[in-house]
Amino acid sequence: MVESSQPNLLSRSRWLVLLAALMWSMSGLFAKAPIFSDWSIESRGALLAFWRTLFAGLCLVPFIRKPTWTWWLVPATVLFAIMSVTYMYAMTKTTAANAIWLQQTAPLWVFVIGATVFYEPIQRSDWTMLISVICGVGTIVFFEVRNAELDQSSLQGVVLGLLSGFFYASVVLSVRALRRLDSAWLISLNHLVTAVLLLPYILYLGIWPSGGQVSWLAAFGVFQMGIPYLLFAKGVKHMPGHQASFIVLLEPILVPFWVWLAWHQHPGYQTPAWWTFLGAGMILFGLIIRFGLDRNRSCQK
């Protein structure tokens, strides 16, 4: 059964996904930290992706209880690795706000594939949310692409952001499909395989973090990546994948806020464009309608 028949379990699952979204929203705070400014734009994405996934995977190893092998783990880990790299490169080539919003094309893929392949139940309010996502993300992509015509780096960031959205959707669906596996095992393996795949390139670059950077990278991996992915994996076990991806849309709403709060006085800070706020407002409206209506129906029952 895709959606839990126990309202309390479903509610708990949604809160776990919500908490994961809040912790994920700290990505821009770390990726845009001035302490990494001495790393070149060309290499920064891979370096951040490697160290973040390494620390995330290691922090979850003590929580593994039942490691189980299945060949489905091979494509799952590869998809996770591609998602991590494309997202971090998008983050370094465009604003943190636009990188994360472009990744949020993922719910469109999750919605379509979840409904047609996994036969997950679709409610009328899900369509309202889907339309809001299309309008909101579409607004950001349209204006960002138009603005990027004179900025090659920004345009590359747009393409990478869209690719990360597709692979993010693949990760959500793979985590859901492998929900019978131990959550800590699945998430730790995803991160450690990503680190192993990136290791040859990191050795080739020969760039190693300073003591201060290691502390930031460890916090980046543990608190922004490892723990929230574990929470998400536990939450998505008992709810449709598209609903989980809708809740996670709270993440990009908070990303620019954390970046502004921490780094707005730094010379390298980029203020999000007006279309980012417009698109975010559309998606936030859809979230309120989608889960507000669902909460009202539950209260009436």
Q: Report pTM.
A: 0.75
pLDDT per residue over 105-142, tens digit each?
Answer: 777 888 887 777 777 777 777 788 888 888 988 888 78
11: three-class secondary structure by DSSP: helix
Closest CA to 48 of 102, 79, 103, 91: 91
Say if residue 300's pLDDT is above 60: no
Q: Is the pLDDT of residue 261 over 90?
A: no
Encoded amino acid at 9, one letter: L
Q: What crossing angle do the helices spanning 183-205 and 73-93 adopt, rounded to 10°?
A: 50
Distances (CA, A) of 26 to 142, 172, 270: 25, 19, 16
Q: Is the pLDDT of residue 101 over 80?
A: no
For residue 53, the model assigns a pLDDT of: 92
Cα dihedral across residues 234, 169, 272, 156: positive or negative? positive
Beta carbons of 183 and 88 less than 8 angstroms apart: no
**pLDDT beyond 80 at 60:** yes
pLDDT of residue 202: 94
pLDDT band at 292 (very low <50, low <70, confident <90, very high): low
pLDDT confidence band for 228 (50 / 70 / 90): very high
DSSP 115: H
* Highest mean pLDDT of the ranges 28-42, 144-158, 192-206: 192-206
Helix (H) or strand (E) holding 263: helix 250-263
User: What is the predicted pLDDT for the residue at 98?
Assistant: 67
d(CA 54, CA 189): 10
Q: Please report the pLDDT score of residue 274 as a whole number.
A: 85
Q: Say which range, 19-23, 138-142, 151-155, 170-174, has the weakest mean pLDDT.
A: 151-155
Q: What is the separation of C-alpha 46 from the centre of its chain, rounded to a whole number of angstroms? A: 16
Whole-number pLDDT of residue 4: 46
Q: Is the pLDDT assigned to residue 291 strictly greater than 80?
A: no
Computed over every residue of the chain, the mean pLDDT equals 82
DSSP code at position 105: T
Weakest-pLDDT range from 160-169, 200-209, 262-271? 262-271
> Sorting pLDDT into bands at 50, 70 and 90, what band is 243?
confident
> What average pLDDT score do residues 264-281 get?
78
* Residues above pLDDT 70, as percent of the chain: 85
Rounded-to-10 torsion of CA 11, 13, 17, 20 = 110
Q: What is the pLDDT of residues 161-205, one digit of tens each?
A: 788 888 888 888 888 788 888 989 998 999 999 999 999 999 999
Question: Per mean pLDDT, which range of 144-153, 221-230, 269-278 is the poorest?
Answer: 144-153
pLDDT band of 153, cuts 50, 70, 90: low
Query: Residue 239: which region, alpha, beta or left (left: phi > 0; alpha: psi -120 to 50)?
Result: beta
pLDDT of residue 301 exceeding 60, the answer is: no
Mean local confidence (pLDDT), 27-45: 84
Tell me the pLDDT tens digit for each residue of 64-93: 988 999 989 999 999 988 888 787 777 667
Tokens found for residue 53: 């996934």
User: Which of 44, 87, 74 minimizes the C-alpha distance to 174?
Assistant: 74
